[in-house]
Amino acid sequence: MAGPPLTRWMRRIRPQDVVWLFLFLLLAIMSENGDASLYAMLAALAAVQILESKIAALASTRGRILGLVLKFAICYLLIGYTHGIESPYWLVLLLPVVSVATAFGILGTVLVALLAGLTYLSFLLYVDWSRYEIDAQALTGRIIFLMMAGNLANTLAEDLRIQSLKSRRTADQLAAANSQLQEAEEAVRRSDRLAALGQLSAGLAHELRNPLGTIRASAEMLHRNLSTENDVAHEVAGFISTEVDRANSLITRFLQFARPLEVRPERADLGQVLDRAIALVEREAPQITIYRNYSPDIPPFPIDSELLERVFYNLALNAAQATAPGGAVTVKTRAAEGTAEIAVIDRGGGIEPKHLSTIFNPFFTTKPEGVGLGLAIVAKIVDEHGGKIAVESEPGKGSVFRVLLPMDRPA
């Protein structure tokens, strides 16, 4: 909970604010012949000095300029009220000079320091030269002192800004390294899951194929030995054979997932591999238009064309199935820092955010008749090529699957 406004302001009070109040109070106490006007000007200067770090509007460039103008105005009134050029309060001009030095560069600091000096020297216009004698050397020393203080504050602030920039860069590098570490850990966990599920799938597939073979052979014998008049029995025997074939197809996919991949990289043209995959998808989904946008900056590089053709076929087919009839899918490539990036873009229904972290897991699917091995096999093939696969999706707007393949791997 944010709490009442007074509580929020109390939390924003810093020890420096208390010191400022104490110092301005000392100035008021030590002033000779102090009156309400003097106290009011000191209070106004203290308020501007303390509140400029508390009000968000004063943190912008315009806000800082406004604060600078207010400080100069109050300082001018205070010095003019307390005997002008002979005022003991001439040092309050350090407040706008140092404030600018901490927020702006050396040029701004020098200009404001000169402005402070000219502001102070402007009180010479009100001196009665017949009654007073001015020490020019002392005045010059005061102007130089204002500029020295501003330059020192600017130097310290610049060192602090450099250190802050280094700290931010270090923090950004640590964040990037942490992100890469998390991605690597996720890849290791996915590989472990793939290995475990692969072993399980291989064992189950081998155990299931034998009884399925027996069932199919029995169904065929039953079909041949049934009398021609028994149509229902013939139909049931056909159902058995069909379902056995479907189960065998599923087992074959399990074995493809479980079998260790043998990547045989040979120098090949990525565009040709994509064209072959897209041609297969266009035959299966003629109602979808697939646009090609290939970068000419990707030279032939070592890949397993057959395996990657399966990858791009699966991704393009999924994109076509997610797109409404008459819609379009785009396949783009580009070269980036020794990596070939392939993006498959659809404008379908998108993927729910809760599913984005699990779509590459084996046996995860949102399709009623899906098995959930297509994207798992895709991720496995991409990993074996030393690449990465990622997805960006927004429900109702579509998805983008990106495959990153290193182009500098030896054949």
**What's the pTM value of the predicted model, to 2 decimals?**
0.49
Question: Phi and psi at residue 34, in whole multiples of 5°?
Answer: -65, 145
Domain spans of the chain, in order of start: 5-126, 179-258, 266-406
d(CA 401, CA 393): 9
CATH 3.90.1150.10 fits 266-406, yes or no: no
Answer yes or no: CATH 1.10.287.130 is held by domain 179-258: yes
Residue partners of 331: CB distance under 8 A and separation at least 6: 274, 278, 290, 291, 292, 293, 312, 316, 342, 343, 344, 345
CA 126/CA 104 separation, integer angstroms = 33
Closest CA to 96 of 121, 118, 65: 65
Q: Tens digit of pLDDT per residue, the chain (411 long)?
A: 445 655 565 566 788 888 888 888 888 888 777 788 888 999 999 988 888 877 777 778 888 888 889 999 999 999 988 888 888 888 899 999 888 888 888 888 888 888 998 998 888 888 877 777 778 888 888 889 888 988 888 888 888 888 988 999 999 999 888 888 887 787 777 667 666 766 776 677 667 777 877 887 887 787 777 666 677 777 777 778 888 887 777 777 666 666 666 788 899 999 999 999 999 999 999 999 999 999 998 999 999 999 999 999 999 999 999 999 999 999 999 998 889 999 999 998 888 888 887 788 766 676 666 666 778 888 888 988 889 999 999 888 899 999 999 988 765
Task: Look at residues 284, 279, 400 and name the one whose alpha carbon lies nearest to residue 342.
Answer: 400
Tell me, what DSSP letter sits at residue 32?
T
Q: Which residue has the tokens 């030279």?
A: 299
